[in-house]
Amino acid sequence: MNKVVAGPAEAVRDISDGATLLLGGFGLCGIPENCIASLVKKGVKNLTCVSNNAGVDDFGIGLLLQQKQVKKMISSYVGE
């Protein structure tokens, strides 16, 4: 398995419906925003997202939540 990918679309290529994602960052800093955008575009659904926060409207995991792609959210903080 090659660990180097050409871009975010390739990085999320093998993520399918029902996957569990561990999303890094602290608050809105250092989040994988380009990978999240690629997941929105790909349209995967029923995701379980594990992160320290749930993002905000129009940014971060909030984009996946707006599109109803997240089935379950596990977070230590919700309330930006």
Residues in the chain: 80
**Is the residue at 1 inside a domain?**
no
Model pLDDT, residue 80? 61
* Distance separating alpha carbons of residues 71 and 37, to the nearest angstrom: 17
Model pLDDT, residue 77? 80
Domain coverage including residue 71: 8-75
**Is the residue at 29 inside a domain?**
yes
pTM above 0.75, yes or no: yes
**Is the residue at 20 inside a domain?**
yes
Looking at residue 26, what DSSP letter applies?
A: B
How many folded domains does the chain comprise?
A: 1
H/E run at residue 62: helix 61-66
Model pLDDT, residue 68? 98
Contact 49, 19 (CB under 8 A): no
**Is the residue at 2 inside a domain?**
no
The angle at the Cα of 36, spanning 27 to 57, to the nearest 5 degrees, equals 55
**Is the residue at 15 inside a domain?**
yes
pLDDT tens string for the chain (80 positions)? 778 999 999 999 999 999 999 999 887 889 999 999 999 999 999 999 999 988 888 999 999 999 999 999 999 887 66
**Is the residue at 31 inside a domain?**
yes
